[in-house]
Amino acid sequence: MKRRFLSGLLLLSLFAALLPCPVRAADSANAMNISEDGISLIKGFEGYSQYPFADVSQWSIGYGVACNPDDYPDGVTLEEADALLREKLTDYEGGLNGFLSKNSIAFSQNEYDALVSLTYNVGVGWLNKSYRFWTMARAGLGNYTDNQIASAIGVWSHIGSTISTGLLQRRISEVRLFLYNDYSGENSTNFHYIIFNGNGGTIDTDVMLYRENEKYGTLTNAQREGYSFAGWYTAPTGGTRVTAGDTASANLVLYAHWSDQSASSDAQNSGFSDVSASDWYFSYVKELAEAKIIDGYTDGTFRPRTTVTAGQALKLILLAANCGEQAPTASHWASGYLSYAVDKGFIGASELSNLNSGISREKIAKLAARALGLSYSGTATPFSDTSDENVLALYQAGIIEGSIDSTTGKRMFHPEAVITRAEISKIIWKIRQQ
């Protein structure tokens, strides 16, 4: 598909701003060039036009090379179009090589070819630290999942503010080349896209890509002032709800559904004096309390910022995993839950010797993953501070996300840190979506 988003003048200005001294392919012994297979891929995407035609934002000829409408009155041959394409590609190679050199990043040939194709199609805009793929590449792509990398590339699928499904298909082909060295786009795991519509609210991103036949794991976040987010559905009203635990089997458009917080006093009431509708954890706490999964204290508070104890975590996780109520087996009210977890092999008795003390995030992950029977099918960890298989299993299932360090851009789990009652409410809510 022929798409150009930057005029020649804007392209040059962006190069000047982003890369003061661009490294052209011929200027450095370490610079890379697009391969013949990569050039063939771009030709397939762009198609050949003998005469100038009006593209999205410019006139183009040959394999999508910018021109003036009166240029080439006799058209160009296939050979001339090939030469024009190769000449233009040196600009994009130069910009990409400059970025790689400046940030000491090394890409394989297939990764490089995929990014040249992307840059030729959308311009050098992604070579900017305000965009995800730039940040991820600098932090090290080994810290991210295939879905995260694919989505960071897939966002470059807009014509203006509108998502183009044609461009999404091109992005998916480039992703399969980048991740799996698949120039054909037919010999590797496919991806499906979800286009998100905030339906009156704001969203973090309007498109994400997911590996076929795997659980989504993560859906984008949505917010709307005065409303509670009620989930993602296949229609603006009604439709089928789609959760992070569902499997990617088709391309979808999903719409946020909302509950009006002012519609009734019940919508505003969590049942706890210290949990209000404006709190990020409100809907999790309210729904879990109504389901009698969680409760508060005798004074009517929930104490969302209080550290979760080992006993509380045991009860919450086992109930959410449908293990049932457990009567005490010793003096502590949660002793029955510990006995059950130990008997089932979810955790060792010595790991939770004090049910009144805090519990680490890693032990919570172990309890939850084993209670749910989850295992990790991937090979690389998206986290910079853990490769624990239980943590990764929960991440793959969309139950935990970790956090992105604002300085390094790396995803962190903080395995030894304790967790608050508000934080575990979100985890328990997600477990119940499985």
pLDDT in tens, 52-94: 999 877 899 999 999 999 999 999 999 999 999 999 999 999 9
Q: Is 256 exposed, middle or buried (0-12, 13-18, 19+ CB in 10 A)?
A: buried
Whether 334 has a pLDDT exceeding 80, the answer reads: yes
pLDDT tens sequence across 222-236: 998 888 888 899 999
390-397 long-range contacts, Cβ below 8 Å, gap at least 24?
Answer: 390/362, 390/365, 390/366, 391/361, 391/362, 391/365, 391/415, 393/365, 393/369, 394/365, 394/368, 394/369, 395/145, 395/217, 396/145, 396/214, 396/215, 396/217, 397/215, 397/217, 397/244, 397/245, 397/372, 397/434
pTM of the model: 0.60
pLDDT of residue 6: 35
Mean pLDDT of 154-182: 94
- Banded pLDDT at 405 (limits 50, 70, 90): confident
What average pLDDT does range 186-213 have in this prediction? 95
What are the backbone dihedrals phi and psi of residue 223, each rounded to the nearest 5 degrees, phi first?
-140, 150
pLDDT of residue 5 exceeding 60, the answer is: no
Q: What is the mean pLDDT of residues 236-241?
A: 87
Examine the pLDDT at 16 and tell me if it is beyond 60: no
Pick the more confident residue, 41 or 287. Answer: 41
Q: How confident is the model at residue 408 (pLDDT cuts 50, 70, 90)?
A: confident
Q: Which among 46, 174, 401, 423 is annotated as catalytic?
A: 46
Look at residue 4 in the predicted model and tell me its pLDDT. 42
Can you list the domains of the chain with their CATH numbers? 8-189 (1.10.530.40), 197-265 (2.60.40), 269-431 (no CATH)
- Bridge partners of 418? 360
Stated as kind and residue range, the H or E segment containing 259 is strand 252-260
pLDDT average, residue stretch 399-406 = 82
DSSP SS3 for 354: coil
Average pLDDT score over residue span 355-359: 92
pLDDT score of 274: 85
28-37, 42-51, 153-162: which range is least confident on average? 28-37
Does residue 111 have a pLDDT over 50?
yes
Q: How large a percentage of the chain has pLDDT more than 70?
A: 90
Distances (CA, A) of 154 to 169, 195, 386, 418: 9, 11, 27, 35
Eight-state DSSP code of residue 80: H
Residue 26 has pLDDT above 60, yes or no: no
pLDDT at 193 over 70: yes
pLDDT value of position 71: 94
The answer to whether 219 and 206 have CB atoms below 8 angstroms apart is no
Catalytic residue flag (residue 46): yes
Tokens matching residue 364: 């919570």
Cα(399)–Cα(216) distance, rounded to whole angstroms? 11
At residue 201, the pLDDT reads 93
What pLDDT, on the 0 to 100 scale, is given for residue 138? 86
Q: What are phi and psi of 159, to 5 degrees?
A: -115, 105
For residue 53, what pLDDT is reported? 92
367-388: average pLDDT: 87
